[in-house]
A = this chain, B = another copy of it.
Amino acid sequence: MATPKINFTPGPSQLYFTVEDHAKVAFREGIPSLSHRSKKFESIYKDASDGLRELLGIPSNFHVLFTGSATEVWERIIQNLVERKSVHLVNGSFSKKFYEIALQLGRAATSIEVTPGLGFSDQLQVSDDTELIAVTQNETSTGVSTPLQVLSELRKKHPNSLIAVDAVSSLPYPDFDYNGVDTVFFSVQKGFGLPAGLGVWLVNERCVEKANALLAKNISIGSYHNLPSLIQHEAKYQTPETPNVLGIYLLAKVVEDMLRVGVHKIRKDTEYKAALLYNELNAHATIRPFVSDKALQSRTVIVAATGNATKALTDRLLENGIQPGDGYGPAKATQLRFANFPTHGKEQYELLCDIIKAF
């Protein structure tokens, strides 16, 4: 069997189609051995930061920070933004891990849990002393998305709580109202189609104030990657540690490419490809979308309930050069997941749908 040509696993996923060329240029220009205290590194950081602001509409009161992974951001958010109480909307493995990290770090975290495959309405209530509400906007394990309306309702009802948004497997697709949230984060190996090993953490001034308030109370907020340290270095477009310089360079380049395409077109194409696949799954005799509520169906990670046909469909896809993503955890035997990221072309989605139709 040939190596699959199209990789639909939801992360690390297929590289954005320009990455390999950018990597070649990077080696030619000495980027992998560039000093992180050099002017050239500062301009790469600035390019990535400015590009992300333009692409995603991030306002100027947000900071653009880099970590080793989105998993690291879970830890840093709890350390820096929660003294006692966070509330976590849990509807799958990744939202649950975020919640568990809060417990591990000794916080009085609570969760609002729903069965995998379900999601959250805008009727959520949390207690008034909640310092942070954690929303996994796109649950990679189940393909459930949290409608943006839920975020704005949370803000209206709980203006004093910080709202943290895990957008790991959805950005650059969702068009967030950044005035209605306080911190958003993602990792680059999903929607941005880059090699893994870099997290991007967006925080507003309310987050910085909260971290400083905890520090003033002598609460440990970590060390080199606490918010004051990250932000002090960001002011010079630097990082506290020697970062993944090549990763930041590749991010800046891919964001530039995406700006050339235009975020509006990326979003429209994402919706078009998602509609193709959901239509095919809805029309199929034995396979169906795992998420039945259309309002909650993720546009970027589409989960098919493939039941007994899982192995046979996987084999059929692999024969046609397509690598599907396994169902997550216990769903490995009964589901398949399909990433729908900017690098996945319309023709690739049409091919995928043709094979499913003929299956």
Contacts and interface: CB of A to CB of B under 8 A. Distances in A.
Contacts of A314: none
A197 B71 contact: no
Contact of A240 (B33, B67, B71, B242): B71
Contacts of A20: 27
A198 interface: yes
Contacts of A243: 69, 196-197
A261 to B, nearest CB: 20
A258 interface: no
A198 to B, nearest CB: 7
A57 interface: no
B27 A12 contact: no
Nearest to A343: B33
Interface stretch (A172-180, A244-252, A286-294, A351-359): A244-252
Interface in A84-106: 97, 100-101, 104-106
A306 interface: no
Interface stretch (A44-52, A125-133, A220-228, A269-277): A220-228
A23 interface: yes
Contact of A197 (B13, B226, B244): B244
A19 B26 CA distance: 13
A7 interface: yes
A159 interface: no
10 contacts: A7-B30, A12-B35, A32-B194, A32-B196, A33-B195, A68-B68, A104-B222, A106-B218, A195-B245, A196-B246
